[in-house]
Amino acid sequence: MIAGRGLPGHRAAAPPLWGAIALLLAATKAWALPGVPADAFLLSLARNGKVVLAAGDDGAILRSVDDGAHWSVVSAPTRATLARLFMQPGGPDYAVGFDATILRSDDNGLHWTRQFSDGRADNPLFGIAALPDGAALAVGGFGHAYSLPEGGGSWHRQPILAADDDFHLNDLLRAGPQRLLLVGESALVMVSDNSGAQWRYVNVPTQGSLFGAVVVSPRRWLVFGLRGHALATDDSGLHWRTIDTGTTAELLGGTKLDDGRVVVVGNRGTAVLLDAALQTARLLPIVSRANFADCLQTQSGAVLAAGDNGLTILPVPPASADH
């Protein structure tokens, strides 16, 4: 992702987040928001109402109950790096990361239990999505995926790729009640229309690895990744257009704003603002040289970016300024 990656379309030796983590650990950490520790970095953000969660290195989970103004450290039953958070109204909430770690919370991230882990192999998890029927799916490096059946039970391996493929699966999102969108290494895009039971490949006009996606509407999606590449579709992946992001930095995380626009963040303090139709993009002013891994809009409208400088408030102009 940041280091250890080959040319677009070429096989890398390590899962995409590992390179990011190596650089993030080497960076100077400067924390400004009250309650955020000075000895951790963050890779993921999630929100349910005014409760905001952040997670990252060494099993760190931070929690805010006042829309991101103040933070506290939450005890987590792991020391594994946590790469992705998932929150939903009514719960449950999840955190996943290295050693195939899967944590669950049933009280908006205040308390966590470890549901699954396996430190015997290179199997970091980079994405997770829960479904309305209680089922859930987690994906990660080297094609690893684990599913939780409807009604609960135990997590078990879930084959997604062909038997001879082990592409890194970098992000997983819900795109409808039963539709899942999956992106990964070497321009991998896959869609399931039945909650992950079957998958189909989607062709995209790029060869570079994709590190993340944003679902703007059930049919309008954005995918992004290596060297600033970003592509959009308005018809659930039948046709794609390339978006000029104005950067060659790796794009790692994104979020849809309340007004429909999209913010995508990445390395070297990169933040890109796209219009709601995913037609045009412009770079936001650089407020930090931090490497950003994820971003999120709080209920009050502020846009936070998580990375090696902790939490940074991005200078996102109001939609009225675009006219």
Edge-to-edge strand ranges of the sheet holding 82-86? 82-86, 93-97, 101-105, 113-116
**Residues 6 or more apart whose Cβ sits within 8 Å of residue 43:** 17, 20, 21, 24, 55, 56, 57, 81, 82, 83, 84, 293, 294, 306, 307
- Report CA-CA distances (Å) from 171 to 74, 96, 182, 189: 24, 12, 6, 10
- CA 240-158-161 angle, to 5 degrees, is 40
CA distance 114 to 104: 6
Question: CA 229 to CA 292: how far, in whole Å?
Answer: 16
261 CB-contact burial (10 Å; exposed 0-12 / middle 13-18 / buried 19+):
buried
- Does residue 16 contact residue 168 with C-beta atoms inside 8 Å? yes
pTM of the model: 0.89
Token digits of residue 127? 């994405």
Looking at CATH, the fold of the domain delimited by 16-322 is given as Methylamine Dehydrogenase; Chain H (2.130.10)
196 closest CA partner among 134, 131, 143: 131
List Cβ neighbours of 216 (8 Å cut-off, separation of 6 or more): 222, 256, 260, 262, 276, 278
Residue environment code for 87-123, b if the CB has 16+ CB neighbours within 10 A, otherwise e = beeeebbbbbbbbbbbbbbeebbbebeebbbeeeeeb
DSSP SS3 for 120: coil
Q: Residue holding tokens 């930090």?
A: 288
Q: How far is CA 136 from CA 132, 139, 142, in A?
A: 9, 10, 19
Give the per-residue pLDDT at 40.
60
Measured in whole angstroms, how far is the alpha carbon of residue 143 from the centre of its chain?
17
Three-class SS state of 20: helix
Q: Is the peptide bond before 89 cis (omega within 30 degrees of 0)?
A: no
Residue 39 is predicted with a pLDDT of 64
Length of the chain, please? 323
- Listed residue (211, 171, 210, 177) closest to 193, CA to CA: 177
Both tokens of residue 180? 């899942």
Cα pseudo-dihedral 254, 243, 219, 176, rounded to 10: -20
Q: What pLDDT is stored for residue 32 in this prediction? A: 58
> What residues have CB less than 8 Å from 40, skipping those under 6 apart?
29, 56, 57, 58, 60, 310
Q: Which residues contact 275 (CB under 8 A, 6 or more apart)?
A: 261, 281, 322
Q: Digits of tens for pLDDT over the chain (323 positions)?
A: 332 222 233 334 344 444 444 344 334 344 457 877 766 689 999 999 999 999 999 999 999 999 999 999 999 999 999 999 999 999 999 999 999 999 999 999 999 999 999 987 678 999 999 988 889 999 999 999 999 998 778 999 999 998 778 899 999 999 999 999 999 999 999 999 999 999 999 999 999 999 999 999 999 999 999 999 999 999 999 999 999 999 999 999 999 999 999 999 999 999 999 999 999 999 999 988 889 999 999 999 999 999 988 899 999 999 887 65
